[in-house]
Amino acid sequence: MKIDELMSGIKTVGIAGHIRPDGDCVGSCMGMYLYLSKNYPDVRVDVFLESIPPELMFIKGTDKVNSEFVSDVDSYDLFIVLDCSKDRTGNAESFFDKAKKTVNIDHHVSNTGTGDVTYIVPTASSACELVFDVINQDKLDEETAKSLYTGMVTDTGVFKYNNTSPKTMEVAAKLISFGFDFGSLIDHVFYEKTYLQNQILGRALLESIRLLDGRLIVSVVTRQMMDFYGAKSNDLDGIVNQLLLTIGVDCAMFMYEIEPLVYKVSLRSNGAVNVSEIAQLFGGGGHIRAAGCSVNGTAHDVINNITQYIHKQLEENS
Ligand SMILES: [Mn+2]
């Protein structure tokens, strides 16, 4: 599928991604937007996305994104949904339904494809990698390349997760050939934390304990601590991953109090424990190496309850 082949006679294009947009969603939508606006200056291109995370606002054109989901165009000539199926586009779904022609580009296994033209590749690292496939690479420019690179970085955990393929690296190589400062870009979209986030990360690491001969690491952030730092739940993202990076640890448990005596528990494993199975026992779910659940009780009880299942698995699997 080539996007240029769908553009003849098109006067209006709408683009949308999923609700609560992430790096790949914003990167792919803005990449497509920048490509079309530059190469088809007479075509009106509108992007519909919910509010964009501040660390992604450096991407050119994000200040023009329509987050109100109100447009004077009733029926777009072409409507493109990226990084999800049309039912995850929230308030943009009605534009898709009313459009004259629809396109769906995605890399999620669960997406069976919605629209007249679909390009769904579950083995691709990101929607951005697929946008690169469908555009004419000779017409790519630096701003578009930066936008696509951003989504590849975030969806692969900086080219670390196992969705990273040789092709991913080949696409990334072509993108960085534009010469932008990819090191700063990676720090900005992936590694940088606010002072508050670093403080509470430090506190969580400082107060962590090791159990089961050092194979399990546990840390708890109480409501009191969150109030003291003024932290919100998204300020705690990534703490559990840092805990798992402790040498000798096979499983990490991070929990914070969502209301008195109710804890949100995040579990991570290097593969020695299937944490999805454990989270399911407590009404949660996830993947083998990353899962979560909410559990009632004192922190002490929650730790004891979950630890016995981790212990059991470690014994059985060793
Ligand atoms: Mn994605």
| Residue at a domain's end among 191, 226, 250 | 191
Token pair listed for 226: 């969150």
Q: How far is the CA of 207 from the centre of ligand 1 (A)?
A: 34
Cα 284 to ligand 1 centre (Å): 23
The CA 133 to ligand 1 mean position distance, Å, reads 15
CB atoms within 10 A of CB 288: 12
Nearest-angstrom CA–CA distance, 280 and 269:
15
Domain shared by 181 and 282, yes or no: no
- Placement of tokens 């989270």 in the chain: 279
Phi and psi dihedrals of 262, rounded to 5? -130, 125
What is the pLDDT, as a whole number, of residue 123? 95
Amino acid at 31: G
For the entire predicted model, the pTM comes to 0.87
Q: What does the pLDDT read at residue 179?
A: 97
pLDDT value, residue 112: 87
**CATH label of the domain that carries residue 104:** 3.90.1640.10
Asked whether residue 41 falls in the same domain as residue 27, the answer is yes
pLDDT for res 287 = 84
- Tell me, yes or no, whether 102 and 229 share the same domain: no
| CA 31 to ligand 1 center in whole angstroms | 13
* Ligand 1 center from residue 104 Cα (angstroms): 13
Q: Is residue 99 a contact partner of residue 77, using CB atoms and an 8 Å limit?
A: yes
Average pLDDT per 10 consecutive residues for the chain, totaling 318 residues: 97 97 97 98 98 97 98 97 96 98 95 93 97 98 98 96 95 98 97 96 98 98 95 93 97 96 96 95 91 96 98 92
DSSP state of 88: G
Domain stop point among 191, 210, 228: 191
Counted residue by residue, the chain has a size of 318
- As given in the structure block, the two tokens for residue 78 are 């072409």
Distance CA 250, CA 217 (A): 8
Cα of 24 to ligand 1 centre, how many Å? 5
Q: How far away, in angstroms, is 106 Cα from ligand 1 center? A: 7
Same-domain pairing of 185 and 227 = no
SS3 content of the chain, % helix, strand, coil (to 5): 45, 20, 35
* CA–CA gap between residue 88 and residue 248 (Å, rounded): 40
Distance from the alpha carbon of residue 81 to the mean position of ligand 1, in angstroms: 12
User: Token pair of 3, please?
Assistant: 């996007």
Residues 26 and 62 placed together within one structural domain of the fold:
yes
Ligand 1: centre distance to CA 75 (Å): 27
- What is the 49 CA–ligand 1 centroid distance (Å)? 14
Return the pLDDT at 59. 98
Residues 158 and 262 in one domain: no
Q: How far apart are CA 65 and CA 61, in angstroms?
A: 7
CA 223 / ligand 1 centre spacing (Å): 32
First to last CA, the chain: 48
> How close is the Cα of 83 to the center of ligand 1, in Å?
5
Domain boundary among 128, 158, 191: 191
Structural domain range at position 94: 3-191
CA distances from 209 to 117, 121, 171, 204, 291 (A): 52, 42, 42, 10, 20
Instruction: Give the domain CATH number at 284.
Output: 3.10.310.30
Of the candidates 72, 76, 65, the residue with the CA atom closest to the CA atom of residue 43 = 76
Residues 108 and 165 in one domain: yes
Q: Which residues surround ligand 1, an ion (CB under 5 A)?
A: 24, 83, 126-127, 155
Count of domains observed in the chain: 2
CA dist 212 and 214 (Å) reads 5
Rg (CA), the chain: 22
CA of 126 to the centre of ligand 1 (A): 5
Q: Are residues 30 and 50 in the same domain?
A: yes
